[in-house]
Chains A and B, each alone.
Chain A
């Protein structure tokens, strides 16, 4: 059968050769069937013979070439890696090459007259038959892939790698199956010959690879799905983040808007300066306080808002302030003077905070016009002073009998001494030395009485309060002098623990005396209620405490204060005394507070009470006129 196909191809080649060779006229003559050899001359015959011989030689040459070519093709046909099959219309094998033998695991001889269908996997038989049918109709090229039913064919070793991979994965296709691809070639020349020419390929590997690719694709797909799941999750997170960011941005905007409105609506002036003291921003309240418009301020030095008369001082102070003092005063309220556009000096309270932006540091200051506060403070103070004075008068009234006694004492002594002198003088030769001694004593007593009256007058005089630096111990002494009679009258034993060398306090002496006297008298009143047998002690102590404050303690061993009363003790109009107004301690509290001190007490029922108050040590006034 292969001969035929070879013949076919040879014929094609021959046709071509013939086409290329031009025919001679003798040839034409010879070819003519009606030609008569006899009519030919010897020469012509000779020529014709020569021609024939030439022709024969040529044909032999060509035949040789063809045979050679046929051998070549047969070799190619038989040894080609691609299988070739020729079937009759029923599918019976008529011819096969070596590749087919190998593929189907059958010798060529046994293959002959076997139907190809025998080799097809039973389940695919129907498809195969359709394929053969289609092939016989010769309408077009057909292609069919089937699985070998009974492969007698071993895999090539280079497949081991694939096989190994496959072994690991149960999903990989069966390696032992062999898939065959049959390609039917539609041949126009064979149109009438009912032969089916098939090109057969082992596509197992290809299929295996294909399936593997499919499998891997699936895997990939799964992976991609997984990955995309993760991606979706993270993108959702991202989205959430973005939403959050949007939200916070909105909040930020809201805040900024709010801050802006606060900035401009604030009653307090807000001003921002850079590190050189140049004004960067100022709000509306600044204009109210200083009278300058925003345009007049932004870009100008902060010095513009300071008193002109002290400009140099402030400039120097401010430089130092900007570099060194800012960290110390952050969060604190400081007092300073500013100057209005019209030249008025305005007391201002200010607090600062610092911030940095792009390596540039800024200071923001909140400024409050303190004139009102100062005025309020002045009024409060005036009220307190007045109230203190009124209560002081009351206190003096309560103390009158004691003080009368205090004055009586020296007066009695004076009358006695003077009488003594008179008696001495009645002698004929009075002892002048003795007389002088007694007169000196008289004088001393008169001075004592005067001193007490002086103190009493000072105590009740309503003078404009002025503070001076005084020694607290001397104030304590004055108070003791005024209360002495009361203390003695009530058999109270006095103890003093006054620290030496205490720094002075800057106070209104009279008001602090009032506090002391109040506390002493309270102690006396408490001690009075004790039965006469008990020893009544009053101790007064002055110290410089750990906080560098002067602390004064007035302690008694009286009946103590009931816990219920303790809470109300410092409130106005609270009193435990039948004839008390309830103003004493309340005023003391206010006075001490006005002196930047604190008034406290400890009390234990049946053990006694200690009142203590602190006063700041006086400070020298600093260079810019404020302490």
Chain B
């Protein structure tokens, strides 16, 4: 855990100095590294996508507001887990934030335990996202090695069709199907059919996210 803490960064964006100062002190006192910014643009300039991180974001700020920054991040495909904080939260704002994938929407003054919990959750999520992204990258890499015919056979295999049926559909002999199947298993580095099916589901799942 301590390792995670050291490796991860908690970004804090709030236009109020007092909020930045108190939250920075608080979060740092629990062992995290905090980087605070006065404005959304400041944050965008200094954000490091390669490091695991989460974002504590004030809803209301001059210039770019919290929600606007969230939209901007989505547009840039930055998937940093975000915790909103707000002095006077309004339901439409919080709903919008949640739809855009916010971890939580905390109202000031908030319980520090909840905040720390949410920070941990966020960092875990970030870690997961990063792992999944890596897995996805590997699977996609393997998928890319398949030929068009192999991909055709693969889609039929994972829908539990027998070799015979596949042979009939593609007007190929059973033998040929067997060879394709072996190649697929090899290229996708799957030991058996259920593993292959899981892989494909994983790909679908990640893509959908």
Q: Is A83 an interface residue (CB 8 A)?
A: no
A419 contacts B87, C-beta separation under 8 Å: no
Contact, CB under 8 Å: A401 / B88: yes
Query: For the complex, what is the distance from the CA of A410 to the CA of B17, rounded to whole Å?
Result: 11
Q: Which of B16, B29, B108, B111 contacts A424 (CB 8 A)?
A: B29
What total of chain A residues lie within 8 Å of the partner, measured CB to CB? 26
A416 near B26 with CB under 8 A, answer yes
A409–B60 Cα gap in the complex (Å)?
12
Which of chain A's residues 359-414 have a Cβ closer than 8 Å to chain B?
A: 401, 404-405, 408-414
Taking CB atoms, residues of chain B closer than 8 Å to A438 are 25
Q: CB < 8 Å: which of B25, B63, B109 contacts A408?
A: B109
Does B30 contact A415, Cβ atoms closer than 8 Å? no
Known: A408-B108, A488-B15, A493-B62. A413 touches B21 (CB 8 A): yes
Expressed in whole angstroms, the minimum distance between the Cβ of A245 and any Cβ of chain B is 84
* From B15, B22, B110, B111, contact of A417 by CB (8 A): B22
| Chain A residues within an 8 Å CB radius of B108 | 408-409, 411-412
- Which of A405, A413, A420 is close to B18, meaning CB atoms less than 8 Å apart? A413
Please tell me if A485 contacts chain B, counting CB pairs below 8 Å.
yes
With known contacts A423-B26, A438-B25, A489-B60, A416–B87 Cβ distance under 8 A: no
Give Cα A485 to B60, complex, Å: 10
**B88–A412 touching, CB < 8 Å:** no
A441 to B29 CA separation, bound complex (whole angstroms): 16
> Contact at A409–B15, with CB atoms within 8 Å?
no
From 70 to 127 in chain B, residues with beta carbon under 8 angstroms from any chain A beta carbon are 87-88, 108-112
Q: Is the beta-carbon distance between A416 and B63 smaller than 8 angstroms?
A: no
The 8 Å CB contact of A423, one of B15, B22, B30, B87, is B30
Q: Is the CB of A491 within 8 A of B63?
A: yes
B193 lies within 8 A of chain A by Cβ: no
User: Which residue of the partner chain B has the closest CB to A445?
Assistant: B18
> Once bound together, how far apart are the Cα atoms of A408 and B29, in whole Å?
22
Contacts of A485 in B (CB 8 A): 87
How far is the CB of B186 from the nearest CB of chain A, in Å?
Answer: 54
Q: Whole-angstrom distance between the alpha carbons of A533 and B25 in the complex?
A: 35
Chain A residue, CB-CB nearest to B25: A420
In the assembly, what is the distance between CA of A453 and CA of B111, in Å?
Answer: 23
- With A404-B87, A441-B21 given, is the CB distance from A412 to B29 under 8 Å? no
B112–A416 touching, CB < 8 Å = yes
Contacts known (A419-B26, A493-B62); A408 close to B87, Cβ less than 8 A: yes
* B25 interface neighbour in A405, A411, A416, A492, Cβ under 8 Å: A416
Q: How far is the CA of A420 from the CA of B25 in the complex (A)?
A: 6
Closest chain B residue to A424 by CB distance? Answer: B29
With A and B bound together, what is the CA distance between A489 and B22 in angstroms? 21
B19 at the interface (CB under 8 A from A): yes
Query: Which of A412, A420, A492 is close to B19, meaning CB atoms less than 8 Å apart?
Result: A412
Chain A 414-436: CB-based contact to B (< 8 A → 1; otherwise 0): 11110110011000000000000
Q: Mark B28-67 against chain A: 1 for CB-CB distance below 8 A, else 0.
A: 0110000000000000000000000000000011110100
Q: Cβ of B23: which chain A residues have Cβ within 8 Å of it? A: 416
* Bound CA span A441–B88, Å: 23
| Complexed CA–CA distance, A492 and B61 (Å) | 10
* A488 x B62 contact (CB < 8 A): yes
A415–B112 touching, CB < 8 Å: yes
Residues of chain A contacted by B26 (CB below 8 angstroms): 416-417, 419-420, 423
The distance from the CB of B32 to the nearest CB of chain A, in whole angstroms, is 12
A403 to chain B, nearest CB (A): 10
Number of inter-chain CB pairs below 8 Å = 69
Residues in A with CB closer than 8 Å to B112 are 415-416, 419
Which residues of A are found within 8 Å of B110, using beta-carbon distances? 412, 415
Whole-angstrom distance from the CB of A191 to the nearest CB of chain B?
158
The A interface, classified by DSSP as helix, strand, loop or mixed, is helix
Contact A404 B88, beta carbon cutoff 8 Å: yes
Instruction: Give the docked Cα–Cα distance between A412 and B87 (Å).
Output: 9
Query: How far, in Å, is B28 (CB) from chain A's closest CB?
Result: 8
Q: Is the CB of B22 within 8 A of A441?
A: yes
Contacts of B88 on A, CB cut-off 8 Å?
401, 404-405, 408
Tell me the bound Cα distance from A438 to B29 in angstroms.
12
Enumerate chain B residues within 8 angstroms of A412, measured Cβ to Cβ: 19, 22, 87, 108-110
Chain A residues in 8 Å Cβ range of B87: 404-405, 408-409, 412, 485
Which one, B18, B30, B63, B111, contacts A409 given CB within 8 A?
B18
Which residue of chain A is the closest to B61 with respect to CB atoms? A488
Which of B30, B60, B109, B111 is within 8 Å of A488, CB to CB?
B60
What distance in Å separates the Cβ of A443 from its nearest Cβ neighbour in chain B?
13
Say whether A410 contacts B18, CB under 8 Å. Answer: yes
**A410: chain B residues within 8 A (beta carbon):** 18
Docked Cα-Cα span, A408 to B111, in Å, equals 13
- Say yes or no: A491 contacts B62, CB within 8 Å: yes
A534–B38 Cα distance when bound, in Å, is 21
CA separation between A441 and B21, bound complex, in Å? 9
Give the chain B neighbours of A414 by CB distance below 8 A: 22, 109
Task: Kindly identify, within residues 500 to 521 of chain A, every residue whose CB is under 8 Å from any CB belonging to chain B.
Answer: none
Which residues of chain B have C-beta atoms less than 8 A from A491's C-beta?
Answer: 62-63, 65
Q: Which residues of B contact A419 (CB under 8 A)?
A: 26, 29, 112
Query: Given A409-B87, A411-B109, A488-B62 in contact, is the A423-B29 Cβ separation under 8 Å?
Result: yes
Interchain nearest-CB distance for A347 vs B (Å):
51
Most chain B beta-carbon contacts within 10 A, residue among A408, A424, A485:
A408
Q: Which of B170-194 contact A (CB under 8 A)?
A: none
Per-residue B-contact encoding for A484-498, CB less than 8 Å = 1, 0 else: 010011011100000
Return chain B residues, CB-CB under 8 Å to A409. Answer: 16, 18-19, 87, 108
Closest to B65 in A: A491
Query: B93 to nearest A CB, angstroms?
Result: 11
The answer for the CA separation of A424 and B28 in the assembled complex, in Å, is 11
Q: How far is the CB of A399 from chain B (nearest CB, A)?
A: 12
Chain A's closest residue to B59 (CB) is A489
- Cα distance A157–B24 in the bound complex, in angstroms: 148
Give chain A nearest CB distance to B70 CB in angstroms: 15
A415 to B18 Cα, complex, angstroms: 12
Residues of chain A contacted by B29 (CB below 8 angstroms): 419-420, 423-424
Roughly how many angstroms separate A409 CA and B58 CA in the complex, as a whole number?
12
Closest beta carbon of chain A to B36's beta carbon, Å: 12
Give the nearest-CB partner of A448 in chain B. B18
A-B contact pairs, 25 of them (CB 8 A): A401-B88, A404-B87, A405-B87, A405-B88, A408-B87, A408-B108, A408-B109, A409-B87, A412-B19, A412-B22, A412-B110, A413-B22, A415-B109, A415-B111, A415-B112, A416-B22, A416-B26, A416-B112, A417-B25, A417-B26, A419-B112, A420-B25, A420-B26, A488-B61, A491-B63
**B contact residues vs A (CB 8 Å cutoff):** 15-16, 18-19, 21-23, 25-26, 29-30, 60-63, 65, 87-88, 108-112
Known A409-B16, A412-B22; further 20 A-B contacts with Cβ < 8 A: A401-B88, A405-B88, A412-B110, A413-B18, A415-B111, A416-B26, A417-B22, A417-B26, A420-B22, A420-B25, A423-B29, A423-B30, A441-B21, A441-B22, A445-B18, A445-B22, A485-B87, A488-B61, A489-B60, A491-B63
A contact set with B: CB distance below 8 Å: 401, 404-405, 408-417, 419-420, 423-424, 438, 441, 445, 485, 488-489, 491-493
Closest 10 CB pairs of A and B: A416-B22, A405-B87, A423-B29, A412-B109, A412-B108, A413-B22, A419-B112, A416-B26, A420-B25, A408-B87
